[in-house]
Amino acid sequence: MRCTICMVTASAVLEFLGKLVPGYDYRSKMSRLNTDRSVREKLVRELRKSATNLKEVSDLAYRDGRREVVDHIKDVLKGIDLFTVEIEGAPFGQSPLLKTDNVSDDDIDHMIEFDRQLALSLEIITKTSELVYEHVLKGETSDIVMQVRKVKKELDLMKNTFSDRLDYFMKR
């Protein structure tokens, strides 16, 4: 039996993920594969939006002669590109967790937690890249490098979480 606090937290997490990925549900076998695919597609789509914002910032920085900004953004863009290729190329539909009828609540909770961590990292990357873009348009360029480093750090965390998620899905 689960505690009420845990259930409230779990329902809040599911609501959060459901808003991000419509139809989010690992509890039903029929939905697991679609949920996994939807999560991956959402990650790639949002990362590409962030990359587009950062490319715009890089172009503006290049025109202003801010080579250090261009170099930092170039590094992040390369990381985003490699990560999206990794997400798209990761084994899909081969996990026993996605194929079996009976999956333990513990396994489902782990699957949800990985997705929650990915969603939070994605949100930080998206918001930070949008803020950087908005600040550059306003002429506020003092902390661009620091913000780009924040995106890079979060991207690295996201890569590790995705790798751990993939390992968990495949080893079950």
pLDDT tens column, 90-103: 888 778 888 888 88
pTM of the model: 0.87
Count CA atoms closer than 13 A to 138's CA, side-chain side: 10
Neighbour count for residue 100 (Cβ, 10 Å)? 12
Helices (H), 90-104: 96-99
Amino acid at residue number 123: E
- Sorting pLDDT into bands at 50, 70 and 90, what band is 88? very high
Tens digit of each residue's pLDDT (9 = 90 or more) over 17-62: 888 888 888 888 888 989 999 999 999 999 999 999 999 999 999 9
Question: Can you tell me the distance from the alpha carbon of 49 to that of 75, in angstroms, rounded to the nearest whole number?
Answer: 16
The reported pLDDT for the residue numbered 171 is 80
State percent of the chain over pLDDT 90. Answer: 60
User: Is pLDDT above 70 for 5?
Assistant: no
State percent of the chain over pLDDT 70. Answer: 94
User: Is pLDDT above 50 for 4?
Assistant: no
The reported pLDDT for the residue numbered 170 is 86
The reported pLDDT for the residue numbered 48 is 98
The reported pLDDT for the residue numbered 13 is 81
Residues 59-79: b if buried by 16+ CB within 10 A, e if exposed: ebbeeeebeebbebbeebbeb
